[in-house]
Amino acid sequence: MIILKNGNIVDIYTGEIVKGNIGIQNGKIAFVDLNDQISNEFHNSSIGYKVDKVIDLKGKYVSPTFIDSHIHIESSHQIPSEFEKYALLNGVTKVVIDPHEIANVLGIDGIKFMLNDAKILNVFLMVPSCVPATALETNGAEITAKDIEKLFKYNNRILGLGEVMNYIGVINGDKEVLEKIEVAKRYNKLIDGHCPQLTGLELCKYIEKGIMSDHECVEPEETLEKLRLGLKIMVREGSASKNIDILKIREKINDMRNLMLVSDDISAKDLKNGYMLNILKKATKYVSPVEAIQMVTINPGNYFGFDVGIKPSNEANLIIFDDLNEFKVSKIMVNGKFLDELLNNNNYNNHDLNQKNKSIKKLNTIHYDYKNEEDFLINGIDSLYHQYRHSDFKIRRCRAIKPINNSLITKEKIIKLDDAKEKLNDRELNRIAVVERHKNTNRIGKGLVVDFLKRGTLASSYSHDSHNVVVVGNDPADMAVAVNFLKDIGGGFVAVENGKVVEYVMLNVAGIMGDDGEYILRKTESLEEKTKDWSDFENIFLSMSFLTLPVIPELKITDMGLVKNMEIVDLLI
């Protein structure tokens, strides 16, 4: 037995910090001594256990380890067995993933890979509800209601139906969407929501169909309405979208049990440099440290049915903090063993994947012909439009995507054609294109984006939700170089300038993840450093990936063209 003596225990059940001693036996908590009943000598006879080690915490704080209740691990661009090396060091021992990204590329095989690849990290899963996400783009697989039912039977770590993004379909009674929801209900599973800016009676209709949570709140009033209607709210503070300030509702409400802190998307850099610890620090601007910890322990535990907290019989998954205000970590314990010992264990380092997981890592998922400069020219911008459609020669305006920093939401900007050509020359506008990469259709959606890139060209095979190849730049020749390079390396990120590759990151698993975390981190940092003055946007590749997300307002782009509020629209108007 290990005894942690003289600790300040974060009691997530009562919201207190209480002094006590913790006994750990066979990976579990044997007792929590809140009355200092154990003698100072820790005689074996006094507690009925053989005491192997006594660690005097000298007043350090002890908390349960953390749960990230909604994350797409793929956003870190690391497979789960690499992701966990950093997540564990930042106190996260349990994640509820929505493998929506890999599912849109590899379907059920990708989902099973994500569930089974980690070694120490407890991975639970919500089955992606929208694969494909919409009919407005081309993806690589389909997850039907029958597939969802099979997955519910496959493993008890599959907890429910992932974020139902097609909220319009739910409200309007779309048969396919409702069928998936009914399968989840039949198996008594959870149903996560996704309904940005939805309000009033439409929100009620969405909830009435069985939706239980939402992680898309942007404004405090939106959050309050959803809480008052019984939704569990996941407060997102990720690398691309940051909504922690909605916690200011603490001033208006007394009950915080239905609030959770989540990342949703996390970059490799943010994963290494704090992850959930940083989210907790930000949260304490609005709530107490103990309340913040409750939002990553007992609150998600109550939602998902996890028995968490420092109590007898629970797994000894603990964080020892030097300081609770700054969340400075001293030690982390997983299943009764200190994390540094676990990570250095030979059995951990010798872990091998099964044959199916190995084969997934070898799949080529980039399927399109090599491109040239002409493929990225835009009719009406690079040539007189009436040469192509004589009846429309009076067209004088065009649409452009206006991104918002630290937000998934974009706006539509209408620009005169003559001004658009001038702004392209001055780089106040950039070209954006999405190249279909799953079915070799060679389809390219083309558009314009406002003030995104100051120089160079960027391309990525990680672009929500279908993960076609997105490329942004002003030189069509460099755009061709970029997408051709991604085809050659099997997917990833690339920066190109003046016809040359400046830096790249190879993502060899489904074109969205790599199997070497250190490589991903090193190359990502190099890529960021070499392109740091190319844009004013923070985490530019992640920001670029959301420009192709049609389920988020207002104007996006897919391989089928511009999408405005879930409808295909013309570039020229």
Q: Evaluate if residue 194 carries a pLDDT over 90.
A: yes
Only one residue has tokens 């997530």, namely 12
As a whole number of Å, the end-to-end CA separation of the chain is 73
**Segment 57-95, tens digit of pLDDT:** 999 999 999 999 999 999 999 999 999 999 999 999 999
Q: Where are the alpha helices (DSSP H) in 198-345?
A: 200-208, 220-228, 268-272, 276-283, 289-294, 298-304, 339-343
Angle between helices 80-89 and 517-530 (to 10 degrees): 80
Q: Cβ(471)–Cβ(459) under 8 Å?
A: yes
For the entire predicted model, the pTM comes to: 0.90
- Structure confidence at residue 357 (pLDDT): 63
Q: For 96-100, 392-396, 498-502, 525-529, which range has the lowest pLDDT when averaged over its residues?
A: 392-396
Q: How confident is residue 103, by pLDDT bands cut at 50, 70 and 90? A: very high
Q: How many angstroms separate the CA atoms of 132 and 392, rounded?
A: 34
Q: How many angstroms separate the CA atoms of 236 and 448, rounded?
A: 29
- Structure confidence at residue 388 (pLDDT): 46
- Structure confidence at residue 41 (pLDDT): 54
* Partners of residue 64 on adjacent β-strands: 318
Q: What mean pLDDT is predicted for residues 418-439?
A: 95
Report percent pLDDT > 70 for the chain: 94
- Structure confidence at residue 1 (pLDDT): 92
Q: Is the dihedral of CA 3, 10, 276, 83 positive or negative?
A: positive
Q: How many angstroms separate the CA atoms of 28 and 261, rounded?
A: 26
- Structure confidence at residue 351 (pLDDT): 55
Q: How many angstroms separate the CA atoms of 375 and 443, rounded?
A: 10
DSSP 8-state secondary structure symbol assigned to residue 351: -
Tell me, what amino acid is at 267? S
Q: Evaluate if residue 369 carries a pLDDT over 50.
A: yes
Peptide bond just before 142 cis, omega within 30 deg: no
SS3 290: helix
Widest distance between CA atoms in the chain: 96
Q: How many angstroms separate the CA atoms of 467 and 446, rounded?
A: 16
Q: Cβ(572)–Cβ(394) under 8 Å?
A: no
- Structure confidence at residue 461 (pLDDT): 98
Q: How many angstroms separate the CA atoms of 395 and 417, rounded?
A: 8
Mean pLDDT taken over the chain: 93
Q: How confident is residue 166, by pLDDT bands cut at 50, 70 and 90? A: confident
Alpha carbon distances (Å) from 468 to 112, 370, 456 = 22, 15, 20
Q: How many angstroms separate the CA atoms of 77 and 102, rounded?
A: 11
Backbone angles phi, psi at 77, to 5 degrees: 65, 25
Tell me which range, 34-43, 309-318, 341-350, is most confidently predicted by mean pLDDT.
309-318
Q: For 48-57, 317-326, 332-341, which range has the lowest pLDDT when averaged over its residues?
A: 48-57
Alpha carbon distances (Å) from 247 to 227, 233, 261, 276, 291 = 12, 11, 10, 16, 11
Q: How many angstroms separate the CA atoms of 179 and 49, rounded?
A: 54
One-letter-per-residue 3-state SS of 126-141: EECCCCCCCCCCCCCC
Q: Evaluate if residue 216 carries a pLDDT over 50.
A: yes
**Segment 478-489, tens digit of pLDDT:** 999 999 999 999
Q: How confident is residue 386, by pLDDT bands cut at 50, 70 and 90? A: very low
Q: Cβ(388)–Cβ(572) under 8 Å?
A: no
Q: How confident is residue 352, by pLDDT bands cut at 50, 70 and 90? A: low
Tell me, what amino acid is at 571? L
Only one residue has tokens 């940092």, namely 525
Q: Is 536 exposed, middle or buried (0-12, 13-18, 19+ CB in 10 A)?
A: exposed
Q: How confident is residue 28, by pLDDT bands cut at 50, 70 and 90? A: very high
Backbone angles phi, psi at 496, to 5 degrees: -130, 140
Q: What mean pLDDT is predicted for residues 450-473?
A: 97
Q: Evaluate if residue 385 carries a pLDDT over 50.
A: no
The H or E element containing residue 149 is helix 145-154
